[in-house]
A and B are shown apart, each in its own frame.
Chain A
Amino acid sequence: MIRVAHLTVKYGAIAALTDVSFEVRPGSITAVLGANGAGKTTLLRTISSLMTPSQGEIFLGDTALVGQKTEDIARLGVAHVPEGRGVVAEFTVEENLRLGALSSPENSAHAVAAQFERFPVLAQRRKQYAATLSGGERQMLALARALVARPTVLLLDEPSLGLSPMVTADIMTTISTLSREEKLTVVLVEQNAKSALRIADHAVVLHVGTVVADAPAGDVANNDDLKRFYLGLVK
Chain B
Amino acid sequence: MGGFLASRFMSDLFNGVANGIIFSLIALSLVVVWQSTNVLNFAQGAMATFATYIGMAQVEHGINIWLCMVISVVVGFIFGGLTERVLIRPLYGKPDINPIVVMVGFLGFLQFLAAAIWGNIPRILPSPFSQVFYTSKGHTIFLSPFVVFQILTAVTVMMIVALVFRFTTLGLKLRAAALAPEVARLLGVRVDRLLTFGWMISSAVGSFTAILVAMQNGSALSPSVMGSVFIFGFIAAAVGGLDSPIGAVVGGLLIGLVEQFTLDYWQANMAPVMALVVLIVVLMIRPRGLFTKNTQRRV
Interface, chain A (partner B; CB < 8 A): 48, 50, 69-71, 74-75, 79-80, 82, 84, 86-91, 95, 98-100, 102-103, 129, 131-135, 138, 145, 149, 162
Contacts and interface: CB of A to CB of B under 8 A. Distances in A.
Contact of A88 (B180, B185, B190, B296): B180
Contacts of A90: 175, 179, 293, 295
B189 A71 contact: yes
Contact of B186 (A74, A95, A133, A135): A74
Contacts, number: 75
A69 B185 CA distance: 9
A100 B185 CA distance: 11
Given A70-B186, A71-B190, 9 more contacts: A50-B186, A70-B185, A74-B188, A79-B186, A86-B183, A88-B183, A99-B184, A133-B298, A149-B187
B270 interface: no
B176 interface: yes
Contact of A74 (B179, B185, B293): B185
Contact of A99 (B182, B189, B295, B297): B189
Contacts of B186: 48, 50, 70, 74, 79-80, 82, 86
Contacts of A84: 299
Contacts of B183: 82, 86-88
Contacts of B297: 89, 131
B187 A82 contact: no
B40 interface: no
26 contacts: A70-B186, A71-B188, A71-B191, A74-B186, A75-B188, A82-B182, A86-B183, A87-B183, A88-B176, A88-B179, A88-B180, A91-B176, A98-B172, A99-B173, A99-B187, A100-B187, A102-B169, A102-B187, A102-B188, A103-B187, A103-B188, A131-B295, A131-B296, A135-B298, A138-B298, A145-B187
B293 to A, nearest CB: 7
Nearest to A129: B295
A122 B295 CA distance: 20
A89 B190 CA distance: 20
Contact of A162 (B172, B176, B191, B299): B299
Interface in B167-217: 169, 172-173, 175-176, 179-180, 182-191
Contacts of A135: 298-299
A149 B298 contact: no
Interface of B: 169, 172-173, 175-176, 179-180, 182-191, 293, 295-299
Contacts of B180: 86, 88
Nearest to A163: B299
* Residue with the greatest number of chain A CB neighbours at <10 A, chosen from B172, B176, B187: B187
Contacts of B175: 90-91
A146 to B, nearest CB: 8
A131 B298 contact: yes
B297 to A, nearest CB: 5
B294 to A, nearest CB: 10
Contacts of A69: 185
Contacts of A71: 185, 188-191
Contacts of B293: 90
A16 B183 CA distance: 22
A82 B185 CA distance: 12
Nearest to B296: A131
Contacts of B296: 131-132
B172 A95 contact: yes
Contacts of A100: 187
Contacts of A50: 182, 185-186
A135 B298 CA distance: 7
A133 to B, nearest CB: 7
List the 7 closest A-B pairs by CB distance, nearest first. Answer: A103-B188, A74-B188, A70-B185, A86-B183, A162-B299, A80-B186, A75-B188
